[in-house]
A and B are shown apart, each in its own frame.
Chain A
Amino acid sequence: MTLFAQYVTTGIVTGCFLILATIGFSLTRRVEGFLNIAHAELLSVSAFTTWGLNAGAGWPLLPAALVGIIVTAVVGLLIGRIVYDPIRGHGPAVLLITSVGAAYVIHGAMDAIIGTGIRTLDIPLATTYKFHGVRITDYQMIVVGLAAVATLSLALFLTKTKIGLAIRAMSANPSLAASRGIDVKQTSRATWLLSSGLAGLAGVMLAMVATLSTDIAFNQILQILAVAILAGLGSLYSVIAAGLIVGIAMDVSVYWIPAGYRPLIAFAVVIIALLVRPEGLSGKKAR
């Protein structure tokens, strides 16, 4: 039973990470109207910027992570402006395929700069705490804490500030938002900064709890897609539920079947979800 509780706990940590990784993706989906496959590459941009400053240049983790997140937000904004803006009229399928191209470019660039091999941050080893036989490390607790804080502040931002409200208006009905005097360009830029910044935060967390190689992004995009589809490609709050479901399902599955099947579980959940409820957890039609 303790072992089972242990898997559930790990699953919650995985879920919290997935929530952060997916929220930006879902935000882009809603406001820009397409699935940005390159989103996961932004995680590795952030993770490796942090790694370069921390392990390479010897900075402490906190400023390194902050710079990493800012760099990622700017990179995301630039890609949005240069790559996606000119072809916005071509429809979601073309944008989706283009984002695969963008992912290739980022991936190639990271590979060229960083090279192959496995890296870790230069931070103290994790301390393990035990609660009733269930172990959790301090870094894992940071992940859960940050996910909670980030989601909460994002919710506040989207409901209380002017830009946040504009973003929500854009996501609900772009043409209506534009005709009601919302600055579409500015809102779109704010969305890129915000969603890429969130990818940056998720990347930093990934760097903290996992070892890094330039391939990480691809594994992440699979899980991000799984969570996003389950959530219904739309609502922010359903991302939280979906992230936790996928995270827990993946980690708890290890209790019964070999760990190699973890990614398969994520997709099995997705396929079942799509067949039973094509509109996702949120219950809203995304198209």
Chain B
Amino acid sequence: MSQILLSILTFGCLFSVLTLSLNLQYARGGMINFGIVAYFAAGAYAYAIFTQEPPKGLDQYLFGFGAPWWVGFLAAAVASMLFAIITGWPTLRLRGEYLALTTFAFAEMLHSVLLNERRIGNGSVGLSNIERPEIGWMGIPEGYVYAGAAIILMLGTALVFRRLLASPYGRAVDAVRDDETAAQAIGKDVARLRFQVFVISAVPIGLAGALYAMITTLVSPDLFTAEVTFFVWMALVLGGERTILGVVLGTLALVGFQEIVRAIPYESVRTAQLAKSVEVMLTGVIFILVLRWQPFEALGRRSKKA
């Protein structure tokens, strides 16, 4: 039981980082990013590539720098940011659905490249045995340390975003979302603000990717499908956009739901498979119901705006 709670906490906080960043892009920046998994994957792969040993034996990847873990983290942040710059530069002038589809397209392209290009990360096999720092730290079990790291990353992200958005800069961002023409009229560089928000919010996603690679010790294209994107969107919708607390609670609730369903033991493969299908169905139903009535959003708005 405590094992389940621990993994809910770890992955809940980890994915909260993604939801927070999406919240910044969507609720504050007005940008629909349907390719959030790509920045997550960029971070995870960058971490893996920078920390792993140089290739040997059956490995087909070209680069492995054997760097310490903190270099991997830096690389993850930079990779995610670079990918945001590359994808944001040409696409951010698109609006609404078009932006959603283009970001989605970019994410699928990255997935396709990672799957087919063996020289990056062994193609569909992925990279395993990813470097983890030595953390026999003061006798605390590793699970707790990783949960702690996820919590710190989440709190850090939340604090930075909060600071950022409470500042005059944040009000400029809000102004752009609410009325672009008006913001432009008072001298705000709309395109630049949107681009900045897009790139800034990609950094924590990359860091979360690195931490994710560290915890699972595995990166493969299967882990970074559009399902992650949809999952984060669901968490955002569930938690009610715009409030930091709501976003985090929504993610924790969704992760908790999945972890608990997965923890139920099954007797046969067929029942396990059936349960998985039912889980997918239920997720969809919850999603539809939440979007229809948006109960948490009303709650969050009433208490306070973050």
B3-11, B170-178, B283-291: which lies at the interface: B283-291
Inter-subunit contact B101/A104 (CB<8 Å): no
Inter-subunit contact B116/A261 (CB<8 Å): yes
CA distance A37 to B97 in the complex (A): 12
Q: Which residues of A contact B233 (CB under 8 A)?
A: 97, 100
Q: Which of B102, B226, B281 has a CB less than 8 Å from the CB of A105?
A: B281
Inter-subunit contact A108/B278 (CB<8 Å): yes
**CB of A115 within 8 A of chain B?**
yes
CA distance A104 to B277 in the complex (A): 9
B71-79, B103-111, B150-158, B202-210: which lies at the interface: B103-111
Inter-subunit contact B105/A226 (CB<8 Å): yes
Q: Which of B98, B276, B287, B291 has a CB less than 8 Å from the CB of A229?
A: B98
Task: Give chain A nearest CB distance to B55 CB in angstroms.
Answer: 21
Q: Which residues of B contact A100 (CB under 8 A)?
A: 230, 233, 287
Inter-subunit contact B292/A35 (CB<8 Å): no
Inter-subunit contact B285/A101 (CB<8 Å): yes
Interface residues of A in 29-52 (CB under 8 A from B): 34-35
Task: Give chain A nearest CB distance to B136 CB in angstroms.
Answer: 41
**CB of B163 within 8 A of chain A?**
no
Interface residues of B in 279-302 (CB under 8 A from A): 279-288, 291-292
Tell whether A271 pairs with B116 under 8 Å between CB atoms, given A104-B280, A104-B281, A105-B288.
no
Inter-subunit contact A274/B108 (CB<8 Å): no
Encode contact with B along A239-273: 1 for CB under 8 Å, 0 otherwise: 00000000000000000001011011001101100
Closest residue of chain A to B279 (Cβ to Cβ) is A108
Task: Give chain A nearest CB distance to B78 CB in angstroms.
Answer: 23
Closest residue of chain B to A34 (Cβ to Cβ) is B97
Task: Give chain A nearest CB distance to B286 CB in angstroms.
Answer: 8
Interface residues of B in 70-115 (CB under 8 A from A): 90-91, 93-98, 100-102, 104-106, 108-109, 112-113, 115
**CB of B304 within 8 A of chain A?**
no
Inter-subunit contact B115/A111 (CB<8 Å): no
Inter-subunit contact A96/B100 (CB<8 Å): yes
Encode contact with B along A91-116: 1 for CB under 8 Å, 0 otherwise: 01110111011111111110110011
**CB of B270 within 8 A of chain A?**
yes
Inter-subunit contact A93/B96 (CB<8 Å): yes
Q: Which residues of B contact A90 (CB under 8 A)?
A: 291
Q: Which residues of A contact B286 (CB under 8 A)?
A: 101
**CB of A225 within 8 A of chain B?**
yes
CA distance A122 to B109 in the complex (A): 35
Q: Which residue among B109, B230, B276 has the maximum number of chain A CB atoms within 10 Å of its CB?
A: B109
Inter-subunit contact B287/A101 (CB<8 Å): yes
Q: Which residues of B contact A94 (CB under 8 A)?
A: 291
Q: Which residues of A contact B90 (CB under 8 A)?
A: 271, 275
Tell whether A83 pairs with B112 under 8 Å between CB atoms, given A109-B277, A111-B276, A278-B94.
no
**CB of A150 within 8 A of chain B?**
no
Inter-subunit contact B288/A102 (CB<8 Å): yes
Task: Give chain A nearest CB distance to B169 CB in angstroms.
Answer: 25
CA distance A287 to B99 in the complex (A): 13
Encode contact with A along B106-136: 1 for CB under 8 Å, 0 otherwise: 1011001101100000000000000000000
**CB of A141 within 8 A of chain B?**
no
Encode contact with A along B212-239: 1 for CB under 8 Å, 0 otherwise: 0000000000000010001001100100
Closest residue of chain B to A214 (Cβ to Cβ) is B277
- Interface contacts beyond A104-B281, A111-B273: sample of 5 additional A-B pairs, CB < 8 Å, sorted by A: A102-B288, A107-B280, A108-B282, A222-B108, A271-B109
